[in-house]
Structures are given as structure tokens and as C-alpha cells.
């Protein structure tokens, strides 16, 4: 094999932020050179006095394997004969002020299991993928027109083995997760899983949002190839995989990116630009090409090397606004005097154009909590940021505020459930009920609901039904599908034992059937139709806290009528207006006895009769049960 080196072309591309497979050069790569097996190491440390690699292969001795600086860009490299896959290592960096810094490899594909913080030599090549059918279909699919119902999962706490002395954490391995998660997700009808905390992170309590190993699937659950097994197995079971991705900030851990070579090469040196005061973390310097290259190549790495279907980009607002979470004097305005981070804006445009252009059918999802315009707008045509989807935080806030209310007071807050339709198609949205809503004393979803025990379940079924009918893709955090009472904690598994109780099992069954309905009817996911696909029948019935609306299919076949009663009051004489004299078939009711309700319907077919109601020429008479959401199909 030819000698591996960081050549002139590598340096040029890295300096231009266009070395999109930089991870194949920087980091640790098992190779054979001059007939000797070993590992090629390379690290970017432009301001270091000198650098060496230390590890299990040289007794962690900084004198044994010094590295050579190649060219002006500041990459150091060496080949170590005998360094093999599985060996632990770090870079020993002598800063210009004489300090010795022992740093984990920013481009490592594998890390030591915490509390250790060394990198581990890995070989991620040679995995035999079996997901060709999934990958072909993905390339041919427009995510905005496809069903997308996401199960948000924290793998370390979804399920656990009983703790033991040999295994105090009880983590499932990637392989175990693959099989159990695939079975569950298929049974429940979700289309995708979104996995939290996959990139290596030292502190479990950060849930993976303070990353030290951007290129390393966490060692908590196994090796990089075992993570590939998880993705491959989910794909073979027709389940997509989305990862949380955190380019907004990184922690100050001594082995991490902060002051990597004794100077601030990944972050701004001025704390007004380079630190989040509230989070105690560092902010990437999006104006530095080598930093942009690190992040852009990292996104490509997960999608192209691990076949991941999309990235949910965390804390986008904190990147877009220079003054995010900062007081006067804690931030520096841009060159025009504004608070927009111009470098982050260009970073997103570059990132999203590249990722989605090279990988048709994948998704870039923004967790963006402000009214920043055109987050999902086209970069060239609309000067947008180019994301595929944006989390709808406004809908989430209004929806939860309404659902928490005692039903008597809902009539005074009726617009909380209708306001979101004024902007529902201003972006390509995902409706989210995520982990953030069930921690830090916010209560689990079931415990947000008002009333006694049974009332909580009826309220939650009604809420989930409204969410499924509202335009936008869907996301629900694990445990909320069966009504977990405790707030989520990363330290324990979900309360699966609750499924021995009838109400929890009935709620889980209802969520399953909601999702099966969602996937069956394009009216619920063909959001590209915009307002042509949604019609209020009655958005103003505040006194009774009832909402009715139609979701129109693109073909005008298999349309759906939703009637949602958010009070415990029965409406035996309820009429709902319909625009056509087409019979309506009840396909799902939250009040069905199968889901713990009390409303048995003998004949599910209802014929409209002539007579104005809700501004429509026809109406259907349907006795509406307390807290019932009734969903009808018509052609």
C-alpha cells in the first residue's frame, strides 16, 4: 500500500472547508506501510509547539512517537507500527506556553467507555450492509410528501438489564437494541426512530448534548460496527433512523476540543463570541474553514458511512443569534450592527445544500424556537436556510398550555388550538412532544392532563388525536405512548410494568391505531398541499370546546373528518357540517370501549342529510361522547 499522508491537496481542501471526507485522513487509520501493520495518526493542531501520539502501544510515553508537522495548515502526522484496532490512545500536545495537554482524537471513530476518556483505534470499513432496498427507496422519496411519525428514543434508558456488579449500567447493546426496538417500533406503527446521545459524551446527565467525540458512536452500547448493525437492522425492518446532532456548542472537558492545542482553534477566543454563559460550554467558530469542515464532514460521516436517514440539529436558534442567552456586554454585534450570526447562516446554507444534494431523500431537521424566517426555505430561490423540516415549538407550547387546563377554562383559551393554523405552512413543520417536555418538573404527558385517573387518559387520547389530525409530521418521546406517570430520567428504564394495567395498555393500543391510520391515509401526511389539504369546519365552537376540520387527500379520495370534544360533557344531539353528500364512515374513536371509552357504535356509517350546519350545505348527526375524538373517512 502507498504511504498514507496528509498531502497538498488535503491541505488545500481542508483550508477551503471542502474536504468532505476529511475523517478518512485525520484521526487514526489502521494501514500497512513498508510491510508493517500499524496505524496512521493525523491531528490538526496549528499552534502546537510539538505533538506526539501516546497509547497502549507505547506505554503512554510522549517521547516514543513524535509527530511531524505537514505544511502551513497545522496538521501533524505519524505512522506507528504495531498500533492496532482496539488500542487506546491520545494526542500529547505541547502548547506554546509549555503546557502538556492530553487530548482525545477529535476524529476518532471509537472512544473509551466512560469514565475513561481516551480514543480507541477503530476500523469502520468492511461492514456488509443489507439495506439496499431501503436506500434505493429513500433516494426516490420526498420526505415532505411521505408519512413521518418519529419515536424519540434515549437508548440508555428505553430498556435496561438489571444492574449487577459486572454490569452496573445495565445498558442494552446496539445489537440488542436493534432487535427489540425494531419489533416495538414496527408494532406501534412509527416510521422512524430519533436516537438521542449517540455521539460520544462523558456525562450521562447531558443526554448526549455535550459531545466530546463527534465521530464516535458512544461506547456505552458497543463498537462502531455494532452501531452500523443497529441502523442496518432497522432499515431492513423499514424503519428510518434520525440522529440528534449538536453543532451549536461543546463542553470544556480537558480531553475535548476546548483550547485544543493550547489556543482556541475550534472556538472563538473572545468569550463574548466563544462561550454560552448559561450552558458553560464553548461555541464553534463558524467563520473558520477548518472548523466548518470538521462539522460538515461530520454530518456527511453519519449519513454516508452509517446510512443514517437524517439529522435533527440541536439548538439552531443559539447559533443564529449572537446574543442568544446573553446580556448586554456579553456579545458582539455583526459587521452591520445586528444580532444575526452571519457565519452560522452561511454554514447552514453550505451544510444543508451539500447534505441534501448528495443524499437524496435524507432529512435535515432544525430545532429552532424563534420566528426566524424561511428555516426550511430553499437556499437559492428563497434565501432560506435549506432545512427539510423545522420543529414546531409554537404549536407545542400552545397545545400543552391548552391541554393542561381544567376543561371548564378551555372555552376561554379556544384560540390556543386554532392559532397555529395561521402559520402552519409557513415552514415544513414537525409537531413535537419531545423529551424536553417531560423533564425538569414539567410532568410526564399523562400527568399534565387535568382531572382524575380516568380523565387523564381520556384527555391524552383526545390530545394525541388532535395532534395526528393537525398538519405537520409527528414526533413523540418514548414512554408517553403508554402514559408513563414518572418524569423521564436517563438513569432508569421506562416504566414498562405499567402495561399490566388496563388503561395504560389501552392508551398504547390507541396510539398504535392512530399511527396505523396516519400511515394509511395520505390526507394526513401530504402536507405539500398546504392549505388545500386542510379545512376548518368549525373553529369557533368555544363554548362547547369542540373543534371540527377536514384533511383533504391530494386525490380527494379517502378524506378525513375530525370532530374533537375537549370537555367531559356528552353531546347526544351533536351535528357537524360537511361539504358533500358523501357517507362518512367512522374509522377511529378515542371513546371506543377497546381503548377504555364508553361509546359503542353499532353502525359506523353515517349519511349526511341536507340542511345547513357550520356553514356547510349538509350535516351529519353524531352523538359525541365526553372527551371523544371521532374520525370519519369519506370519498
DSSP-assigned beta bridge partners for residue 199: 217
Whether 437 contacts 396, CB under 8 Å:
yes
Buried b (16+ CB within 10 A) or exposed e, 327-340: eeeebeeeeeeeee
8-state DSSP, 120: E
CA quadruple 610, 611, 617, 621: dihedral sign: negative
- SS3 label, residue 414: helix
Pairing of strands 192-195, 240-245: parallel
DSSP-assigned beta bridge partners for residue 100: 94
Question: Which of the residues 87, 244, 290, 314 is marked catalytic?
Answer: 314
Which residues lie below 8 Å from residue 9, measured CB to CB, with a gap of 6+?
Answer: none
Helices 289-300/342-358 angle, 10° precision: 30
Residue 312 host element (H or E): strand 310-313
Whether 489 contacts 479, CB under 8 Å:
no
What angle is formed at CA 492 by the lines to CA 489 and CA 493, rounded to 5 degrees? 105
Residue with cell 391510520: 517
Q: CA–CA separation, 270 vs 2, rounded Å?
A: 43
Buried b (16+ CB within 10 A) or exposed e, 311-324: bbbbbbbbbbbbbb
- From first CA to last CA, the distance across the chain in angstroms is 65
Q: CA–CA separation, 442 vs 421, rounded Å?
A: 26
Buried b (16+ CB within 10 A) or exposed e, 32-44: ebeeeebbbbbbb
8-state DSSP, 475: E
Tell me if residue 314 is catalytic: yes
The 3-state secondary structure of 29-95, one letter per residue: EEEEECCEEEEEEEEECCCCCEEEEEEHHHCCCCCCCECEEECCCCEEEEEEECCCCCCEEEEEEEC
* CA nearest neighbour of 606 among 587, 625, 590, 592: 587
* CA nearest neighbour of 198 among 156, 140, 256: 156
Q: Give yes or no for a cis peptide into 553 (omega within 30° of 0).
A: no
Whether 217 contacts 244, CB under 8 Å:
no
Q: CA–CA separation, 219 vs 227, rounded Å?
A: 10
Question: Which of the residues 267, 275, 367, 427 is marked catalytic?
Answer: 367
Active site residues: 314, 367
Amino acid at each position: 500500500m502507498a504511504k498514507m499522508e496528509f498531502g497538498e491537496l488535503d491541505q488545500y481542501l481542508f483550508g477551503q472547508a471542502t474536504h468532505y471526507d476529511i475523517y478518512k485522513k485525520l484521526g487514526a487509520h489502521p494501514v500497512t506501510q513498508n510491510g508493517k501493520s500499524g496505524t496512521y495518526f493525523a491531528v490538526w493542531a496549528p499552534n502546537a509547539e510539538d505533538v506526539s501520539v501516546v497509547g497502549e502501544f507505547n506505554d503512554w510515553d510522549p517521547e516514543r512517537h513524535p509527530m511531524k508537522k505537514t505544511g502551513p495548515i497545522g496538521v501533524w502526522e505519524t505512522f506507528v507500527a504495531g498500533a492496532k484496532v482496539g488500542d487506546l490512545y491520545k494526542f500529547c500536545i505541547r502548547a506554546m506556553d509549555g503546557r502538556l495537554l492530553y487530548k482525545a482524537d477529535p476524529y476518532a471513530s471509537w472512544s473509551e467507555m466512560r469514565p475513561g476518556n481516551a480514543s480507541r483505534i477503530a476500523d469502520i470499513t468492511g461492514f456488509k450492509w443489507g439495506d439496499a432496498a431501503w436506500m434505493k427507496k429513500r433516494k426516490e422519496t420526498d420526505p415532505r410528501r411521505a408519512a413521518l411519525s418519529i419515536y424519540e428514543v434515549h437508548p440508555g434508558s428505553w430498556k435496561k438489564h438489571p444492574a449487577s456488579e459486572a454490569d452496573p449500567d445495565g445498558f442494552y447493546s446496539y445489537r440488542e437494541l436493534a432487535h427489540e426496538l425494531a419489533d416495538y417500533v414496527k408494532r406501534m406503527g412509527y416510521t422512524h426512530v430519533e436516537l438521542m446521545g449517540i455521539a460520544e459524551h462523558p456525562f450521562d446527565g447531558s443526554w448526549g448534548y455535550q459531545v466530546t467525540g463527534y465521530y464516535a458512536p458512544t461506547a456505552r452500547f458497543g463498537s462502531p460496527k455494532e452501531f452500523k448493525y443497529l441502523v442496518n437492522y432497522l432499515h431492513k425492518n423499514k424503519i428510518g433512523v434520525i440522529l440528534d446532532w449538536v453543532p451549536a456548542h461543546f463542553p470544556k472537558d480537558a480531553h475535548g476540543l476546548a483550547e485544543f492545542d493550547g489556543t482556541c482553534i475550534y472556538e472563538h477566543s473572545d468569550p463574548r463570541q466563544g462561550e454560552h454563559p448559561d450552558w458553560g460550554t464553548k461555541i464553534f467558530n463558524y467563520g473558520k474553514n477548518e472548523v466548518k469542515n470538521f462539522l460538515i464532514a461530520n454530518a456527511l460521516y453519519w449519513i454516508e458511512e452509517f446510512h443514517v436517514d437524517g439529522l435533527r440539529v440541536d439548538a439552531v436558534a443559539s447559533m443564529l443569534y449572537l446574543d442568544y442567552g446573553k446580556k448586554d456586554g456579553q456579545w458582539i454585534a455583526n459587521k452591520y450592527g445586528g444580532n444575526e450570526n452571519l457565519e452560522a447562516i452561511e454554514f447552514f446554507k453550505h451544510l444543508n445544500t451539500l447534505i441534501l444534494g448528495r443524499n437524496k431523500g435524507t432529512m435535515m431537521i432544525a430545532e429552532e424556537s424563534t420566528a426566524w424566517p424561511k428555516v426550511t426555505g430553499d437556499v437559492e430561490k428563497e434565501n432560506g436556510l435549506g432545512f427539510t423540516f423545522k420543529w414546531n415549538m409554537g404549536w407545542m407550547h400552545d397545545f400543552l398550555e391548552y391541554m393542561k387546563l381544567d376543561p371548564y377554562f378551555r372555552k376561554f383559551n379556544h384560540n390556543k388550538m386554532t392559532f397555529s393554523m395561521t402559520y402552519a405552512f409557513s415552514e415544513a413543520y414537525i409537531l413535537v412532544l419531545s423529551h424536553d417536555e417531560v423533564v425538569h418538573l414539567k410532568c410526564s404527558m399523562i400527568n399534565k392532563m387535568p382531572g382524575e385517573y380516568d380523565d387523564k387518559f381520556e384527555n391524552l387520547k383526545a390530545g394525541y388525536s388532535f395532534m395526528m389530525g393537525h398538519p405537520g409530521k409527528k414526533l413523540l418521546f418514548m414512554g408517553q405512548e403508554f402514559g408513563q406517570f414518572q418524569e423521564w430520567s436517563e438513569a432508569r428504564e421506562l416504566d414498562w410494568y405499567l402495561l399490566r394495567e388496563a388503561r395504560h395498555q389501552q392508551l398504547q393500543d390507541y396510539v398504535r391505531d392512530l399511527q396505523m391510520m396516519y400511515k394509511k391515509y395520505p390526507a394526513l401526511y401530504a402536507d405539500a398541499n398546504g392549505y388545500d389539504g386542510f379545512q376548518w369546519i368549525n373553529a369557533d365552537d368555544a363554548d362547547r370546546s369542540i373543534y371540527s376540520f377536514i384533511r383533504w387527500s391530494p386525490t380527494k379520495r379517502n378524506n378525513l373528518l375530525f370532530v374533537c370534544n375537549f370537555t367531559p360533557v356528552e353531546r347526544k344531539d351533536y351535528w357537524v357540517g360537511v361539504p358533500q353528500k358523501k357517507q362518512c364512515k367512522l374509522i377511529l374513536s378515542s371513546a371506543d370501549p377497546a381503548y377504555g371509552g364508553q361509546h359503542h357504535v353499532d353502525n359506523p356509517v353515517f349519511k349526511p342529510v341536507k340542511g345547513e350546519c357550520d356553514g356547510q350545505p349538509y350535516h351529519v348527526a353524531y352523538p359525541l361522547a365526553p372527551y371523544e375524538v371521532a374520525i370519519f373517512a369519506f370519498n
